[in-house]
Amino acid sequence: MKVTVWNEFRHEKESEKVRSVYPEGIHQHIASFIEDAEVTTATLDEAEHGLTEEVLNTTDVLIWWGHKAHDEVDNAIVDRVHKRVLEGMGLIVLHSGHFSKVFKKLMGTGCDLKWREVGEKERIWTVMPNHPIAEGLDEHFELEQEEMYGEHFDIPAPDELIFISWFQGGEVFRSGATFKRGNGKIFYFRPGHETYPTYYDKNIQRVINNAVRWAKPTTNGYPTYGNYQPLEDLSKGEKTDDL
């Protein structure tokens, strides 16, 4: 299994605070805890954002973290990632990646939400305990400080809703949701603001590892499309006498 962790990698360069949490960048930290996979990273400022045809064609699951520079992601690369997801590559979209071009293109909706950054408590409840992405978790777990994301979250109704967040300030949010698109599987996972040590949390790491396993491509006869001859002999069919 090959996993590529993509990060915008700008906050870490510009903010001392973020750098103090993720000195090597969020991507390097996420890459460090992915299990049972060959993990590489890619970032916005690399050529082709590090997402060349070759990299994507050999990636089984792509993890995406972006926030302040969504607009700088080249449309051609967005189309390339979109195409690869439809072909079967798994995609895990984290936190502010809800507003990335590729997630919006896959969802077909605005993907907007409410937000607040005061470091309040988030409590994440599992509402689909039998899902493999919830494997090994307790019924709920807490993050002492996170950015708030609140409903309405402008996404299609998820295929599966696994987690719902409670926020101290009074909001709720559909925090863990799966979507199947084309031949690929997508998981959106809410937590992960850059100024908090969210990706050091063992529960968060477990969810992401579970999601990587869940999102791996299915080996199948990739669907074909176009003009097809009948599988049945129409000339012998019931209607022949009438024609």
Within residues 189-228, the interface with a second copy by CB under 8 A covers: 217-228
Which of residues 12 and 171 has its CB atom nearest to a second copy in the complex?
171
Stretch that binds a second copy, among 20-28, 70-78, 117-125, 190-198 (CB under 8 A): 117-125
- Our finding on whether 33 is near a second copy (CB under 8 A) is no
Quick one: which of 165, 198, 205, 209 contacts a second copy (CB under 8 A)? 165
| Rounded Cα–Cα distance for residues 119 and 242 (Å) | 74
Tokens of 169: 């300030």
Whether the CB-CB separation of 169 and 120 falls below 8 Å is answered with: yes
Does position 125 bind a second copy by CB under 8 A? Answer: yes
Q: Does 116 bind a second copy (CB under 8 A)?
A: yes
Told to check if 75 binds a second copy by CB under 8 A, we report: no
Q: By CB under 8 A, what part of segment 91-110 binds a second copy?
A: 105-110
User: Which of 13, 36, 72, 237 touches a second copy by CB under 8 A?
Assistant: 237
CB of 117 to a second copy, least distance (A): 8
CB 154 within 8 A of CB 113: yes
122, 115 Cβ separation under 8 angstroms? no
Q: Is 159 in the site for a second copy (CB under 8 A)?
A: yes
Helix (H) or strand (E) holding 83: helix 75-87
| Neighbouring residues of 232: CB distance < 8 A, sequence distance ≥ 6 | none
Give least dist CB 156 to a second copy, A. 6
Q: Which stretch binds a second copy (CB under 8 A): 24-32, 47-55, 187-195, 235-243?
A: 235-243
- Among 171, 176, 189, 199, contact with a second copy (rule: CB under 8 A): 171
From residue 117, alpha-carbon distances to 56, 88, 143, 195 in Å are: 34, 35, 14, 10
Nearer to a second copy, 16 or 230 (CB): 230
Give CA–CA dist 26/39, Å, rounded: 14
Per CB under 8 A, 64 contacts a second copy: no
The dihedral built from the CA positions of residue 198, 146, 42 and 185, taken in this order, carries a sign that is positive
Structure tokens at 222: 């990739």
Residues in 134-153 that interact with a second copy by CB under 8 A:
134-140, 144, 148, 150-153
Other Cβ atoms less than 10 A from the Cβ of 59: the count is: 24
Whose CA is closest to 188, among 218, 167, 208, 209?
A: 208
Q: Does 240 bind a second copy (CB under 8 A)?
A: yes
Residue 43 Cβ, how far from a second copy at the closest point, in Å? 25
Task: Please name every residue paired with 65 in a beta bridge, in sequence order, or none if there are none.
Answer: 7
31 or 107: CB nearest a second copy: 107
